[in-house]
Structure 1
Amino acid sequence: MSLESLNLDLFSILNVPEQASPLMMHFATFVAHDLVYLLITCFALFWFYGHQNSKVLILKAFVFCCVALSISEVASYLFNTPRPFVMHVGQTLIAHEATGSFPSNHMTIFSSIAFAYYFSARRDIGRFLLAVAWLVAWSRIYVGVHFPVDMFGAFILSWAVNLAGLKLWHRYQTKLMCWVMFLYEKLFSALIQRGLIK
């Protein structure tokens, strides 16, 4: 069996069935489209109200996510693989532009953040976020905007970026954190002094 055949077969298994329940479709749509905004909100709250160690890990996740996402965008442009709805394959539950499908940006975001925590002292959080990343992967296939191969590609990309950049992070994290905290304390000094944020 070729990779293309396996990809299509997996998609047909994971994509929304014709007799899917409205509850399952709403859940998948929320995970596929809106969960990323909830993640961003949680990280913003953890940054503003968390301790120094939390801020360091959030900065690490942000840096690795930006690097992986930049590579993902370039790869998506270069490969320009069609999405399922462009090929008239399966059903689609959410609207999406006909941009390149491989690799998935959503999976890149969630996986790179998850690996940033996994390759740290908070591996427990990393494991949880990896599970969330694969939930997002399922949902993006379920709603019909990605193929399974897009998810595996994003997962491998995120893993490789985190692994490759780990030594650089350990070398420069202190300097980078000092610079970021200097800017943060300058911009939000009034709120910090009033104790509204940390």
Structure 2
Amino acid sequence: MSLESLNLQLFHSINAPITASSLDIYFGIFMANDTLYLLIVGLLMTWFLGRYTSKALVLQAIITTIIALLIGYVVSLIFPHPRPFVIDVGQTLIPHAATASFPSNHMLIFSSIALCYLFAKQTKIGVALLTLALMVAWARIYVGVHFPLDMLGGFIIAMLTNLMVRQLWPRYQQQIMDLALKIYQFFFAFFLNKGIFR
């Protein structure tokens, strides 16, 4: 069996069946679309309310994610792969542009952040985020906008990017944090002075 055949077979085993209940469909769409906003809110709250070490980890996670997304974009240009609905495969539950399917940006984002926390020995948060990443991966396939290999590719890129950034971060953390905190203190001085933010 070829890799593409396996990819297609796995897709059909996960993608929403025609007989899917409305509850399953609602849950799949929520996980595929809305969890990203919850993740962003969580990172913002951690930055606004967390101490220096928490802020540094948030910033490291964001930088890692941005680099991973850039690498993912280059990979998508080199190895373009159509989305399931473009080749009329499976059931599609949400609208999506016909952009390259591989790798999954959602998986890149969730995995990059989850692995960043795991490597920083923030095990409980890291495991929770990685579990969420896997649920999002399932959901993106379930709603018909990605293949399983898109998720695997996203995870591998996130892992490699984390390993690279972890080697460089100790050297540049202080300079990056100093700049980030200056910008933060300039724009949010009112909230900081009132003790609303840290």
For normalisation by structure 2, the TM-score amounts to 0.97
Structure 1 stretches lacking a partner, 5+ long: none
Could you tell me which residue of structure 2 aligns to residue 94 of structure 1? 94
Count of aligned pairs between the two proteins: 198
Could you tell me which residue of structure 1 aligns to residue 152 of structure 2? 152
Amino acid at match of 1:164: M
Amino acid at match of 2:83: R
- The range that moved more, 95-104 or 66-75, is 66-75
Could you tell me which residue of structure 2 aligns to residue 34 of structure 1? 34
Could you tell me which residue of structure 1 aligns to residue 183 of structure 2? 183
Task: Write out aligned runs for 1:1-198 (5 A).
Answer: 1-198=1-198
Amino acid at match of 1:114: A
Amino acid at match of 1:140: R
Q: Partners in 1 of 2:144 and 2:28 — Cα distance?
A: 10
Q: Partners in 1 of 2:169 and 2:123 — Cα distance?
A: 17
- The range that moved more, 176-185 or 3-12, is 176-185
Q: Partners in 2 of 1:8 and 1:158 — Cα distance?
A: 23
Q: Partners in 2 of 1:75 and 1:53 — Cα distance?
A: 33
- What is the Cα deviation at residue 112 of structure 1? 0.4
Cα deviation digits, residues 115-159 of structure 1 (max 9, x gap): 111110312211111111111100000000000000000000000
Q: Partners in 2 of 1:88 and 1:51 — Cα distance?
A: 49
Give the root-mean-square deviation of aligned CA atoms. Answer: 1.0
The alignment partner of 1:85 has SS state of helix
Q: Partners in 1 of 2:165 and 2:52 — Cα distance?
A: 21
Q: Partners in 2 of 1:172 and 1:2 — Cα distance?
A: 44
- The range that moved more, 88-97 or 167-176, is 167-176
Amino acid at match of 1:37: Y
Q: Partners in 1 of 2:43 and 2:95 — Cα distance?
A: 27
- What is the Cα deviation at residue 106 of structure 1? 0.5
Amino acid at match of 2:78: L
